Amino acid sequence: MDQGGVVLSSHLAEAFLNTPRHPFVPVFYRREGEHFSPRGNTGTDTAGWLAQVYSDDSLITEVAGVHAEDAGARSVTGAPTSSSTAPSLMADMLDALDVRKGARVLEVGTGTGYNAALLCHLAGAENVTTVDRSERLTHAARDRLATLGVRPAVRCEDGSKGVPSRAPFDRIIGTCSVRRIPSSWFDQLAPGGIMVVPIKGALAGGMLARLKKREDGTAAGHILHTPAAFMPLLSGNQEQHQEPEATGGTTRDSRISGKVLDDWTFSFFAELHLDPGTVRTYHRDADGTHVTTMFTPLDGSCARVTEQPEGAGARVRVSGPRDLWALVERAHEHWLSLNRPRREWFTITASPEGQTVAYTDPSGEVNRWSP
């Protein structure tokens, strides 16, 4: 079946057709510049509200920890902290997860509960466990799932630890991104089981990995074709890093500007070349000039990349022990030399000790990275 441009198998199509979305997103935010305004069904435009709910869009449900249902009529500012994923992306991930009736499933990132409801339809509610760190989200999701007559195990816990009391699982799906797959997920996935995990570092266009667990405890698989920028898994104390001031160091020219990282086809590849602790921020100056800043809090390296309004390229100010922008420049040259390979041509192997992404070009040469 073709639903919204995504080809669905019959059992997955049945799950979407029989699982309503609107009970899980009674209120959501609309982005209006730097502000987010709540939108609910006021009764004056039910058709318009339903059209948005059933569009193939992500619906932001929480901003800076303020849930849309708690915002009243006021708009809020800040970074989105929870959302309902676009249905087409959900379908891609669930298709890759290959859920069958009776499969024991762990979902990390309950969110609204809509994805958990789909998993209940696919596997049976008694086989589904969903975990989220937010008591506000898990409480609401539990109630809304119950109104549909399904009662999976809903846990308010640190998702990085999995749910050992319900393990082992045949399937694990993350609806939040991680830099490294937590070791507990390997421990709790049964041999032959499948996990679908968003892996993302500093840059946009993170990767979706589909891995199958091997008898030796490692896992291997492919990167899916779909870019994904899921919100990060919250675990323990979240360290906040302030963007450093652009002082000292040296200045040089670059043939590429920071805007190359806004291209999700390249940013996926660039991510493979960066340290896990790298942070990237970007903005536009008052005159519209694009400015990217990259820094690593661990060693204090920083690169500020300001596009040149006249002609191509950018001006780069570098400070600290390493030139972080040089890593991106080399990655861009390598990407072009490989003829811009698509993300679905890459494989991934992973273990509790780390993960390796590989690409084999048509000549047979194997390229490997351990991001």
Overall average pLDDT of the 158-177 stretch:
97
d(C-alpha 166, C-alpha 156), whole Å: 14
- Decide if pLDDT at 367 tops 60: yes
Pairing of strands 354-360, 250-254: unpaired
Is the torsion defined by CA of 141, 231, 229, 288 positive or negative? Answer: positive
> Active-site residue among 83, 184, 301, 319?
83
pLDDT above 90 coverage of the chain, percent: 78
CA distances 132 to 65, 116, 178, 233, 295, Å, are 14, 12, 14, 9, 30
Domain ranges within the chain, ordered by starting residue = 1-20+85-235+346-371, 21-84, 250-337
Please say whether the structural domain 1-20+85-235+346-371 has been given the CATH code 1.10.20.10. Answer: no
> What rounded mean pLDDT belongs to the chain?
92
Which residues have CB under 8 Å from 142's CB, separation 6+? Answer: 113, 154
> Which range among 88-92, 138-142, 143-147, 287-291 shows the weakest confidence by mean pLDDT?
287-291
pLDDT for the residue 1: 42
pLDDT for the residue 2: 44
- 82 a catalytic residue: no
pLDDT for the residue 5: 54
pLDDT for the residue 311: 67
| Same CATH fold assignment for domains 1-20+85-235+346-371 and 250-337 | no
Please say whether the structural domain 250-337 has been given the CATH code 1.10.10. Answer: no
- Decide if pLDDT at 3 tops 60: no
The 8-class DSSP code of residue 239 comes to P
Overall average pLDDT of the 164-169 stretch:
98
pLDDT for the residue 237: 54
Please state the length of the chain.
371
Q: How confident is the model at residue 42 (pLDDT cuts 50, 70, 90)?
A: confident
Overall average pLDDT of the 263-279 stretch:
91
- Across the strands, what pairs with 107? 130, 173
pLDDT for the residue 68: 95
The answer to whether the bond into 276 is cis (omega within 30° of 0) is no
Q: How confident is the model at residue 118 (pLDDT cuts 50, 70, 90)?
A: very high
Pairing of strands 250-254, 279-284: unpaired
